[in-house]
Amino acid sequence: MDKVRTILFFHHFFKDFFESQNERVKEKIVHVLFLVSTTQRIPRKFFEHIEGTEGLYCIRIEFESNIYRIFCCFDEGKLIILFNGFQKKTQKTPAAEIEKALKIKREYFTLKADKK
C-alpha cells in the first residue's frame, strides 16, 4: 500500500508514551498509524478534530477495554506531526492533556519558523 501521508514525531513526547505501553498495545498503535498514513480518507473512528482548537487532531486507538489518544496536527498538507499521547480514563478528554498538546504544537511551529 502506498503512503498518502508521512508521520513524524516531535521531540520525545510520543516516543515516551509509546515506550511505556505493553507489546500488544504498541502493535495496535503501529496498526492505526499505518492506517492513518495509507488511507485516503481516515475513518472518524481513528481520527478527529479537537473541538475548540485550531488545527489540533487526535488519533484514536481502542484496545480491549482501554482507550488511547495521540494528539497531532497537519503541516504542509500530507505531513502529520505526532505530539503527546495518553490513556483516556474518563468520558471527556482532559483539558490538561489538550492544553499540553497545544503547548507542544506552538513549540513545534515556533521552532520551525526559527529555522527559516
Domains of the chain and CATH, by start = 6-115 (3.30.2310.20)
The string of pLDDT tens digits covering residues 17-47 is 999 999 999 999 999 999 999 999 999 999 9
Q: What pTM does this model have?
A: 0.93
Which residue, 4, 72, 6, 77, is CA-closest to 38? 4
How many CB atoms within 10 Å of residue 61? 21
What confidence category does residue 90 fall into, taking pLDDT thresholds of 50, 70 and 90? confident
Retrieve residue 18's grid coordinates.
Answer: 509509546
Hunting for cell 508521520 — which residue is that?
7
Whether residue 89 is predicted with pLDDT greater than 90 in this model: the reply is no
DSSP one-letter code for 27? H
- Mean of the per-residue pLDDT values of the chain: 93
